[in-house]
Amino acid sequence: EKRIGILTSGGDCAGLNAALRAVVHRAIRNYGWRVFGIRDGSLGLMERPLDYVEFDLSLVTGDMLRLGGTILGTINKGDPFAYPMPDGSVKDRSQDFVDGYKELGIEALIVIGGDGSMRILNNLCRKGGIPMVGIPKTIDNDVAHTDYAIGFATALNVAGEAIDRLAPTAASHHRVMILEVMGRDVGHIAINAGIAGGADVVLIPEIPYTLEAIARKIEEVSAEGRNHALLVVAEGCKTETGQAVTTVQTGGENRYGGIGQYLAARLEKMVEAETRVTVLGHVQRGGMPSMRDRIIASAFGVYAVDLIAQGKLGRMVAWQHGQVTDVPITDVAGLTRAIDPYGTLAQTARGLGIYIGEM
Known binding positions for ATP? 11, 77-78, 114-117
Q: Is the sign of the CA dihedral 29, 288, 139, 122 positive or negative?
A: negative
Residues binding ligand F6P: number (CB under 6 A): 10
- In the shown chain, the binding pattern of residues 6 to 45 toward ligand F6P, with x for contact by CB under 6 A and - for none, equals -----x----------------------------------
184 binds ligand F6P (CB under 6 A): yes
Contact 300, 325 (CB under 8 A): no
Whether 140 is a known active-site residue: answer yes
182 binds ligand F6P (CB under 6 A): yes
The residue from 40, 79, 96, 140 that is catalytic is 140
188 binds ligand F6P (CB under 6 A): no
Site for ligand F6P in 133-152 (CB under 6 A): 138-140
Choosing from 26, 285, 315, 337, the residue that interacts with ligand F6P (CB under 6 A) is: 285
355 binds ligand F6P (CB under 6 A): no
Instruction: Give the span between the Cα atoms of 213 and 216, in whole angstroms.
Output: 5
Q: Where are the alpha helices (DSSP H) in 310-351?
A: 344-351
258 binds ligand F6P (CB under 6 A): no
- What SS3 class is residue 125? helix
Instruction: Give the span between the Cα atoms of 125 and 131, in whole angstroms.
Output: 7
Choices 97-105, 156-164, 177-185, 226-234 (CB under 6 A): range interacting with ligand F6P: 177-185
Q: Which is nearer to ligand F6P, 5 or 136 (CB)?
A: 136
Contact 176, 166 (CB under 8 A): no
Counting every residue written for the chain, the total comes to 359
Instruction: Give the span between the Cα atoms of 176 and 170, in whole angstroms.
Output: 7
Instruction: Give the span between the Cα atoms of 330 and 318, in whole angstroms.
Output: 13
Q: Which residues are catalytic?
A: 140
- Contacts with ligand F6P, residue ranges (CB under 6 A): 11, 138-140, 182-184, 235, 256, 285
